[in-house]
Amino acid sequence: MCGICYILSFSVCPRVDDVLKGATFHCLTRRGPSSSHQLIKSVNDLGYHCLFLGQVLHLRGPLTPQPTEDKNSNIFLWNGEVFGGLHVGNMDNDTRVMLCHLSSCNSESEILSLFSSVQGPWAFIYYQATEHCLWFGRDFFGRRSLLWHFSSDLEKAFCLTSVSALVPEPNDYLWQEVPASGIFRIDLKTCAASKHVLLTWYPWKYATADYITKDISQDNVDEMANALPKFVSVVRSETGLSLIVPVAPLNRTLPISSAEHHCTVSTTTATAEDLQIFLSDGHRKKLVHQLIDALDKAVKKRVVCLPRCTDPSRTLTQAPKSSERRANVAILFSGGIDSMLLAVLADHHIPLEEPIDLLNVAFMMKSKNQQTGSGKTHIRQKLPSASLSCPEHSQTLDILNGALHSPFNVPDRITGRAGLKELEAINPSRTWNFVEINITLEELKEMRQQHITVLVQPLDTVLDDSIGCAVWFASRGIGFTNNNGEQPFTSMAKVVLTGMGADEQLAGYSRHRVRFKAHGLEGLVEELGMELSRISSRNLGRDDRIIGDHGKEARFPFLDEDVVSFLNSLPIWDKVDLTQPRGIGEKLILRAAAKELGLTASAVLPKRAMQFGCRIAKLENNNEKASDKCKRLQSLSTQNVAISLQE
C-alpha cells in the first residue's frame, strides 16, 4: 500500500518543495512509512513537466521504492495488490511485476487487457515515455483512493494524489475522487501544444452486451466533464476500446410468481433453528459450502505472504518467544456476522502461534442525567435478543452484565465480547487480542481536527464524518486488552480486514427492506444492482484514506472478484429472504455459512450500522440526518490545513 502523487505543469518544472512540505506530504508520508522517493521528468522541447512522488508501505516481496522506472524511461506509481489474474510469486513484489507487464505492452488494447485481468485493489499512475502519454485510474470497485485536481490556471494544470490536504486557491476547482468508471489517458504532447487537456476515457463493460453496470452514455461523459474546468474535456476512445469488468453480471432472474415474496414480513424472533431449516435443503447447502470456499480463498490471499519474523536476529526456524509475538493481521470487529466470519476464516490460515487483533471501538455514552436531567448516571444497554436466546452463552452474558455500567459499554462492545467468547470456543489455542478502543468526545474533536477531516474529504456528509471517525480510531488500534488483566495495547498489524461489501451484496441495510416492502423482489434486485456500482463513490476511497493514514492497508475479502462473481450468479431467493425477520432474512446465505462454520449467537445477530453500534452517532448532534452536509467537516477543513502548512 502506498501514497502516490503526480503533478503536471505546462510552464515551469514543479518545485519539489511545493509538494514535500505541508499537509499533503504529511498525509502521504503516513500512508507509506517504508520508503520515500521522488522523480522529475521535464520534456522541454514539448513543453511539459512532471513530478512523481511515492511513499511505500512494504508488505510483499523485496522493498521497491516508488516511483519506479524501466529501461525505456516509463515511470510507474502503484497503490495496489495483485491477488489474482497475473502470477505473482510468494517472494515477488507486485509493483515490479506490473511494471514488467506494462513495459511489454505495445498498444492501448494490451494495456487495457492487462488491467482487465488484474484481480485485487489498485490505483495507478503510469507515464508511457515513448508515447508521451499518462495513464491512471482505479479498480472496478474503487478500493484504493485516487483524487484529481485541475487548477483554474492551465499553466499549473493537473494533480493526482492518494490523499490531499491542500485547499484549492481562490477560483480553483475542488478536489474530487477520480471516478472508478474506467481508466484515463492524457496525450501530454498534444495537450502541451493545444493548451487543452483531453481525457480519453476507457469505461468498464461486461464481456457480454446484455449487461452494462457502469453507465457509459454521453450523459455520463457530460456529467463528468461539467465538474471540470473549461480547458479540460472528456471523450471516449475513438477506437471504442473498454476494460472488461472482472466480475460476473448480477443475476436479475425473478420467480415466475413473486407475489408470495411481496411485502409479507415475519415478526417472529430469529433463531439458529431457522438457519438449520435453510440448510436442510440440499441445493442450498451446496451453495453455502461454495460460498464458504470462495470466502476462505479470498481471506487466505489477504493474510498470507506477509513478513512474519518479528526479530531480525532470530532465524525463521527458531520459535518466537511469547514476548515477541504480535499480530500481523487485524480485523475491524463488532462481533456481527461479517467480522465474525472474517475472524473464523483468518484463523484457518494465520500461523497458530500468531495472535489476531480484534479492533473494537466505542465512543463514550452520555449518562442518563446528561440526556434527560435525571439523577441517574448510567444507561443500561439492551443485550441482543439473539444472544439471550442461546443458553450456551449464559456465561458470556454474566460477564457482560458486570460491565453494563461502563460508559463505553455500547452495543458493539457487548456483541464484540460475546463474539470473542465464540471464537475462543472454536479455537482456544489461538491468542485473540480483543482490543477495546475507548474514545471520549474531547479526543474525537482533537483527532478530527488534526487528521480525520482531510482524509474524509472530498466526501462531506454526516455519515461520512461518523464512519470516517469510527474507522480511523478503530484502525489506529490504540486501546487495552484483558488477556492478562487490563493492559494498554497498540495493534501493530499492517493488514486490516474489513467486512465492507457484504451488506451491499446481501441486502443488509434497512433501505433494502424498505425497497422490498414497497416494490417486492424486483425492486430489491434493482436496489442491489445499484449498490456495487456506487460503492466506490460512497465508501471505499474514503475508507482507504482513513485506514492508510496509520501506515496500514485495508483489505476487503467480501469484494474479492471471485466472491462477488459467485454471489452475483445466484438468484435473489438463494441469497436473502426479507420475508424472514431481521437477523435471518438479510444476508441469509452468509448466516447459514456462519452456522456451518460453528458460529452460534453471532449468526443471527441483526445488522446494526457501525455509527449506531459504536455510538458515535449519539455523541454530538442527534438531530442531524446522515445525508446532511456535515458542518464539522466544513468548518474544520480550512483551519486544519492552515495549521498543518505552518508546521
Instruction: Quote the number of domains for the chain.
Output: 2
Residue 262 placed within a domain: no
Q: Specify the range with the lowest mean pLDDT, choosing from 129-143, 171-185, 392-406.
A: 392-406
Q: Is the pLDDT of residue 631 over 60?
A: yes
Residue 237 placed within a domain: yes
CATH for 333: 3.40.50.620
Summarised one tens digit per residue, pLDDT across range 9-55 is 888 787 666 655 677 888 999 999 999 999 999 998 998 999 999 99
Q: pLDDT band for position 636 (50/70/90)?
A: low
Q: Is the pLDDT of residue 381 over 70?
A: no
First to last CA, the chain: 26
195: left (phi over 0), alpha (psi -120 to 50) or beta: left
Q: pLDDT band for position 448 (50/70/90)?
A: very high
> What would the grid cell of residue 16 be?
519539489
Q: Is the pLDDT of residue 245 over 70?
A: yes
Q: Taking Cα atoms as reference points, which of 340, 339, 359, 342 lies closest to residue 350?
A: 342
* Highest mean pLDDT out of 27-31, 87-91, 121-125: 121-125
User: According to the model, what pLDDT value does residue 173 have?
Assistant: 67
Residue 172 placed within a domain: yes
Q: Where are the alpha helices (DSSP H) in 78-187?
A: 94-103, 108-117
User: According to the model, what pLDDT value does residue 324 have?
Assistant: 57
Tell me the average pLDDT across 589-615: 93
Q: Is the pLDDT of residue 424 over 80?
A: yes
Residue 314 placed within a domain: no
User: According to the model, what pLDDT value does residue 175 have?
Assistant: 85
Residue 252 placed within a domain: no
User: According to the model, what pLDDT value does residue 13 have?
Assistant: 80
Q: pLDDT band for position 647 (50/70/90)?
A: very low
Q: Where are the alpha helices (DSSP H) in 180-336?
A: 188-194, 218-226, 272-279, 282-303
User: According to the model, what pLDDT value does residue 532 have?
Assistant: 86
Q: Specify the range with the lowest mean pLDDT, choosing from 233-247, 338-352, 486-500.
A: 233-247
Q: Are residues 210 and 298 in the same domain?
A: no
Q: Are residues 339 and 456 in the same domain?
A: yes
DSSP-derived letter for residue 623 is T
Q: Are residues 237 and 385 in the same domain?
A: no
User: According to the model, what pLDDT value does residue 406 have?
Assistant: 85
> Long-range contact list for 390-399, CB < 8 A, 24+ apart?
390/272, 390/600, 390/601, 392/600, 392/601, 393/418, 393/421, 393/600, 393/601, 395/421, 396/421
C-alpha distances (whole Å) from 575 to each of 157, 173, 191, 504 are: 48, 43, 50, 12
Q: pLDDT band for position 386 (50/70/90)?
A: very low
User: According to the model, what pLDDT value does residue 141 have?
Assistant: 96
User: According to the model, what pLDDT value does residue 323 have?
Assistant: 47
User: According to the model, what pLDDT value does residue 620 have?
Assistant: 81
Is the CB of residue 311 less than 8 Å from the CB of residue 478? no
User: According to the model, what pLDDT value does residue 20 have?
Assistant: 59
Q: pLDDT band for position 5 (50/70/90)?
A: very high
Residue 215 has a CB neighbour count (10 Å cut-off) of: 12
Is 138 exposed, middle or buried (CB count within 10 Å of its CB: 0-12, 13-18, 19+)? buried
Q: Are residues 334 and 232 in the same domain?
A: no
Q: Is the pLDDT of residue 535 over 60?
A: yes
Q: Are residues 59 and 204 in the same domain?
A: yes
Q: Are residues 522 and 617 in the same domain?
A: yes
3-state secondary structure of 550: coil
Q: Are residues 100 and 139 in the same domain?
A: yes
Q: Are residues 75 and 113 in the same domain?
A: yes
Residue 250 placed within a domain: no
Q: Are residues 448 and 496 in the same domain?
A: yes
Tell me the average pLDDT across 262-271: 64
In the set 2, 50, 159, 390, the catalytic residue is 2
ω into 229 cis (within 30 of 0): no
> Long-range contact list for 623-626, CB < 8 A, 24+ apart?
624/462, 625/462, 626/461, 626/462, 626/463, 626/466
| pLDDT > 90: percent of the chain | 64
* Highest mean pLDDT out of 122-126, 230-234, 393-397, 603-607: 122-126
ω into 407 cis (within 30 of 0): no
CATH for 118: 3.60.20.10
Q: How far apart are CA 328 and CA 314, in angstroms?
A: 17
Helix (H) or strand (E) segment spanning residue 268? none
User: According to the model, what pLDDT value does residue 388 have?
Assistant: 43
Angle at 230 (CA atoms; ends 224, 231), nearest 5 degrees: 105
Q: How far apart are CA 284 and CA 261, in angstroms?
A: 18
Q: Who has greater pLDDT, 631 or 497?
A: 497
Q: How far apart are CA 556 and CA 81, in angstroms?
A: 11
User: According to the model, what pLDDT value does residue 413 have?
Assistant: 96
Mean pLDDT of all residues belonging to the chain: 85
Q: Is the pLDDT of residue 269 over 80?
A: no
Q: How far apart are CA 78 and CA 93, in angstroms?
A: 11
Q: Specify the range with the lowest mean pLDDT, choosing from 134-138, 382-386, 539-543.
A: 382-386
Which residues make Cβ contacts (< 8 Å) with residue 598, sequence separation at least 6?
A: 344, 426
Instruction: Tell me which amino acid residue 506 is.
Output: L
For the residues of 15-63, what is the DSSP string, one character each?
A: PHHHHHSSHHHHHHHHH-BSEEEEEEEEETTTTEEEEEEEEE---SSS-
Q: How far apart are CA 243 and CA 237, in angstroms?
A: 12
Q: Taking Cα atoms as reference points, which of 59, 536, 557 lies closest to residue 331?
A: 557
Q: How far apart are CA 560 and CA 547, in angstroms?
A: 19
The reported pTM is 0.90
75-80/68-69 β-pairing: antiparallel
Residue 206 placed within a domain: yes
User: According to the model, what pLDDT value does residue 625 have?
Assistant: 87
Tell me the average pLDDT across 376-395: 43
Summarised one tens digit per residue, pLDDT across range 199-242 is 999 999 987 754 444 445 555 667 777 778 888 889 988 888 99
Per DSSP, which regions of 129-239 are E strands? 133-138, 147-150, 158-161, 176-177, 182-187, 197-205, 232-236
Q: Specify the range with the lowest mean pLDDT, choosing from 52-61, 89-98, 257-266.
A: 257-266
Q: How far apart are CA 245 and CA 293, in angstroms?
A: 22
Q: How far apart are CA 481 and CA 490, in angstroms?
A: 9
Q: How far apart are CA 165 and CA 21, in angstroms?
A: 11
Angle at 418 (CA atoms; ends 414, 424), nearest 5 degrees: 145
User: According to the model, what pLDDT value does residue 617 have?
Assistant: 86
536: left (phi over 0), alpha (psi -120 to 50) or beta: alpha
User: According to the model, what pLDDT value does residue 384 have?
Assistant: 47
Q: Taking Cα atoms as reference points, which of 619, 336, 334 lies closest to residue 466?
A: 619
Q: Are residues 345 and 219 in the same domain?
A: no
| pLDDT > 70: percent of the chain | 82
Q: pLDDT band for position 590 (50/70/90)?
A: very high
Q: Are residues 279 and 193 in the same domain?
A: no
Tell me the average pLDDT across 331-338: 96
Q: How far apart are CA 589 and CA 291, in angstroms?
A: 8
Q: Are residues 275 and 220 in the same domain?
A: no
Residue 299 placed within a domain: yes
Q: Is the pLDDT of residue 57 over 90?
A: yes
Active site residue 2: yes
Summarised one tens digit per residue, pLDDT across range 271-301 is 788 898 899 999 999 999 999 999 999 999 9
Angle at 178 (CA atoms; ends 68, 189), nearest 5 degrees: 60
Q: Which domain holds residue 507?
A: 267-307+323-646
Is the CB of residue 120 less than 8 Å from the CB of residue 66? no
Q: How far apart are CA 591 and CA 522, in angstroms?
A: 23
Phi and psi angles of residue 340, each rounded to the nearest 5 degrees, phi first: -65, -45
Q: Who has greater pLDDT, 310 or 194?
A: 194
68-69/243-244 β-pairing: unpaired
